[in-house]
Amino acid sequence: MNREDFAILKEQVHERELVYLDNAATSQKPQPVIDAIVEAYTHWNSNIHRGVHHLSQVATQHHEDARKAVANFIGAKSSDEIVFTKGTTDSLNALAFSYGEAYIYEGDEIIVSGLEHHSNIVPWQMLCARKKAVLRHIPLRADLTLDMEAFAGMLSDKTKLVSVAHVSNVLGTIQPIEEIIQLAHARNIPVCIDGAQSVPHMQVNVQTLDCDFLVFSGHKLYGPTGIGVLYGKREWLEKLPPHEGGGEMIEHVRWEGTTYNELPYKFEAGTPNFVGSWALKTATDYINSIGWEAIEAHERELTEYCEQQLLDLGCTVYAAGQSKAGVISFNVGEVHPFDVGTLLDQQGVAVRTGHHCAEPLIDTIGVPGTVRVSFGLYNDKADVDAFIAALKRAQMMLS
Ligand code: PMP
């Protein structure tokens, strides 16, 4: 699907054509996104919001158009609810600090799940240490699904926030976030969704989901690095204090004190990544031009095709048979995942190995790590066939 838009896929790695199956770490960029960055620096680079001159106005217009495009892309009510950040990690740290300052007190509880990325654990641990609050996690059942009965039992008057991944970056499994949101909202508890691995693979609509916050990264969504999003419902963002001080986020600064800018600028201190936001808009345009229906069907077919072949080869696939969003983790017997990854790399196949920044989940599975293959819209069955052939050769070398 649209492979020719991704020039990097023609690169040779160890004298073989690259087979790129590390999309959960970062995706490759289509030519329009690369062109948007070149166009920005060639034609309209200028600092935004503060300038009366032409270029500054053009740059400002691009940045604000990008905000509208991102709002539309995730179905937000208004572009004021889109805060541009550096990425998912930055968004979660911003939320943990801001929400924590305003709403977390000693003894309060924050709930995440047992399969989170470190980005959705550590900022909450830091907040809990500052505020003497408690971080709890939804346990996993033996099949690595969330124990929803346990979750329902964990919610109490002490619970002040729930923050969970929509799609596991290790297993690829899709979490029951609709049910999580309903259960939390029944107790007026806000919910943050880590969409780092879902927004690039499926249509996510914040109003349909009714989540209070959604975070994601541009670079996994065919956009550039250094740009991401913190979506928040207006009623929350209005109440929350800024997490950083500086230019842009202020209304007036006096020695006696400072008043803050309106939404969303209150949360965007300093010069924002206006080239990144424009390139991210270009990435969302690119996805829209293909359409979610086609992308989802294509990636589902590839994932199922690949998983079946891994099972046929006798590999241990984690969360086998469960519906996945473009990510599969496996191991080859007792072989260390790093060895499998190295042998695949020597054959031009890029996969990721290790704990995938989700050590608590890897500990629960009880392995040193996994090998992870992850798909993007440009991958095809030939990539899976090349990967499986390379894996067979690796298996032969290892046996
Ligand atoms: N959450 C999840 C589920 C992820 O997969 C990742 C990236 N691996 C992150 C958070 C962190 O994203 P970033 O490094 O772009 O901030």
CA of 192 relative to ligand 1 center, distance in Å: 14
CB atoms within 10 A of CB 41: 9
For 349, the token pair is 């196949």
What is residue 60's three-state secondary structure? helix
Closest CA to 274 of 33, 40, 30: 40
CA distance 1 to 3: 5
List pLDDT tens digits, range 224-237: 999 999 999 999 99
| CB distance 80 to 261 below 8 Å | no
Q: Please report, for residues 141, 202, 219, 231, 331, the alpha-carbon distance to residue 205 in angstroms, rounded to integers and kept in the order given.
A: 28, 10, 20, 11, 34
Ligand 1: residue of 27, 202, 327, 357 to mutate (most ligand atoms within 8 A of CB) is 357
pLDDT of residue 1: 76
DSSP state string for 351-363: -EEE-TT-HHHHH
CA distance 72 to 78: 8
Ligand 1: residue of 90, 168, 197, 372 to mutate (most ligand atoms within 8 A of CB) is 197
Q: In whole angstroms, what separates CA 271 from the centre of its chain?
A: 23
Specify the domain boundaries for CATH 3.40.640.10 within the chain: 33-288
- Which atom of ligand 1 is closest in space to residue 217's alpha carbon? 15
| CB distance 8 to 33 below 8 Å | no
For 243, the token pair is 């997490």
Q: What CATH number should be reported for the domain whose range is 292-398?
A: 3.90.1150.10
CA of 199 relative to ligand 1 center, distance in Å: 12
pLDDT of residue 132: 98
pLDDT of residue 49: 87
Q: Has domain 33-288 been given CATH number 3.60.20.10?
A: no
pLDDT beneath 70: ranges in the chain? none
Ligand 1: residue of 115, 118, 169, 280 to mutate (most ligand atoms within 8 A of CB) is 169
For 134, the token pair is 């408690």
- Which atom of ligand 1 is closest in space to residue 25's alpha carbon? 8
DSSP class of residue 291? -
Alpha carbon nearest to ligand 1 atom 12, residue:
88
CA of 43 relative to ligand 1 center, distance in Å: 32
CA of 120 relative to ligand 1 center, distance in Å: 9
pLDDT of residue 50: 76
Specify the domain boundaries for CATH 3.90.1150.10 within the chain: 292-398
What residues pair up with 161 in beta bridges, in sequence order? 110
Q: pTM (2 decimals)?
A: 0.98
The b-or-e profile of 202-214 (16+ CB within 10 A means b, else e) is: bbbebeebebbbb
Question: Catalytic: 315?
Answer: no
Whether 361 is in the pocket of ligand 1, judged by its Cβ within 6 Å, is no
175-178 contacts, C-beta under 8 A, 24 or more apart = 175/113, 175/115, 175/146, 176/146, 176/148, 177/209, 177/211, 178/209
